[in-house]
Structure 1
Amino acid sequence: MPAALSEQEIEAFRERICAAAARLFVDEGPAAVTMRRVARQLGCGTMTAYRYFAGKEQIMTAVRTRGLHRFSDALERALDSPGDGRTRSRAVRDAYIAFARADTATYRLMFEYPHADHGDPAWRAAHARMWRTIAAHVDVLIAEGAIEADAPILGHQIWASLHGAVMLEIAGLLPAGYDAASLHTRTVAALFETARTSRD
């Protein structure tokens, strides 16, 4: 009889399952993510995968939930860096882009997969945390008096432009000489200019 796995070993195998599912999603599309294909990627039997997750949707929810928390961790660390609001806002942008580049599969799965997990409490908590994190650097700029804006709305506008720039970079569709950071810098400058003029 095989020895019982430790919590760390169980968690490590869950992470491997999540990573395999995310790779399949990006490389071959949502239909490719089946318990059989995930198990094959890991070199184990399908029933082994079922010991860790009840099915494909549970794996997808776990990938998205874990990804959102890692994403928020990165942005929160960046926001806690030294400097004024503008400097910290740029650090958040850079952390965002670094996450998307380092783990493109999870990043895409976080935002592209159909939302079948709205009822999952863990996913809901991770999603709420992510949205709070998206607006947090705008709160810092407002508190400093650099801009006047509705933080959640401006935070969403900044996120939308950054996500668009990142996805264009991933797809190789940015103009020559641009990357996600340089394109976003020009876009966010216009957003901040509007936020400044609104208080004049």
Structure 2
Amino acid sequence: MPRALSEQETEAFRERLCDVAARLYVEEGPAAVTMRRIASELGSGTMTAYRYYPNKESILTAVRTRGLNRFSQALEDALDTPGDGRTRSRAVRDAYIAFARQHTATYRLMFEYPQADRDDPAYLAAHERMWRTVAAHVEVMIAEGRIEADAPIFGHQIWAALHGAVMLELSGLLPPGFDAASLHTRTVSALIDSARPTRE
């Protein structure tokens, strides 16, 4: 009988399992994500994965849910740093890019491929948390009087520019001398200039 894993070991195994599933999905397509293939990649028995998830759909939901929460936590931590709103917004940008670079398959699975089980409560909560992070740093700049904008809409504008820059970087399609941060800085500077309060 296999030894029962500790809570820490169980979490580490779930993390590895989700990482493998995300990589297989993004690199080889949905058909590659099977319990047998995941077990082979992990070097475990096929039934081991079933101890944690009932099927591959639940694994992919877990990948997205865990990814969204980790992503949101990274952005929240970045926003909770010293400095004015613009400085903290840059910290959020840097945390966003770092997450996409370090967890590329999970990032792509979260945003590039649709979520099938949108009614999963944990996924819905993680998704709502992520939406809040999109506007949070914009709300700081609005409160400081730096910009006048609708926080959710302006946050989505910044997010769209950042996601585009990140995907171009990950695809190797940025011009020489540019990375996601440098391209996004130029785009966001123009957005912020357009949203500066008008002075009488």
TM-score after normalising by structure 2: 0.95
Q: Deviations over 1:49-76 (max 9, x none)?
A: 1111111110001111111111111111
Aligned match of 1:144: 144
Counterpart Cα distance in 1 of 2:34 and 2:169: 29
8 Å CA contact 2:146–2:197 kept in 1: the answer is: no
8 Å CA contact 1:72–1:129 kept in 2: the answer is: yes
Aligned match of 1:40: 40
Give the letter for the 1:90 counterpart: R
Aligned match of 2:195: 195
8 Å CA contact 1:134–1:155 kept in 2: the answer is: yes
Does structure 1 residue 181 correspond to structure 2 residue 181?
yes
Counterpart Cα distance in 1 of 2:195 and 2:145: 11
Counterpart Cα distance in 2 of 1:198 and 1:185: 22
Aligned match of 2:163: 163
Equivalences, count: 200
Residues 177 and 7 of structure 1, relative CA distance in 2, 3 Å threshold: same
User: How does 1:94-113 map onto structure 2 within 5 Å?
Assistant: 94-113=94-113
Aligned match of 2:52: 52
Aligned match of 1:30: 30
Q: Deviations over 1:1-56 (max 9, x none)?
A: 33333222222211111011111122212221111111110112221111111111
Aligned match of 1:64: 64
Aligned match of 1:3: 3
Identity percentage over the alignment?
Answer: 77
Give the letter for the 2:40 counterpart: R
Q: CA deviation at 1:197?
A: 5.7
8 Å CA contact 1:148–1:199 kept in 2: the answer is: no
> Larger deviation: 10-19 or 165-174?
10-19
User: How does 1:87-126 map onto structure 2 within 5 Å?
Assistant: 87-126=87-126
Q: CA deviation at 1:88?
A: 0.5
Aligned match of 1:74: 74
Q: Deviations over 1:114-151 (max 9, x none)?
A: 22121000010111001101110000000000000000
Which runs of at least 4 in structure 1 moved beyond 6 Å after TM superposition?
Answer: none
Counterpart Cα distance in 2 of 1:98 and 1:131: 19
Aligned match of 2:21: 21
8 Å CA contact 2:145–2:197 kept in 1: the answer is: no
Give the letter for the 2:45 counterpart: G
TM-score after normalising by structure 1: 0.95
Q: Name the SS for the 1:116 alignment partner.
A: coil
Counterpart Cα distance in 2 of 1:85 and 1:4: 48
Q: Deviations over 1:127-181 (max 9, x none)?
A: 1001101110000000000000000000011001100000000000011111100
Q: CA deviation at 1:106?
A: 1.0
Give the letter for the 2:118 counterpart: H
Counterpart Cα distance in 2 of 1:192 and 1:30: 40
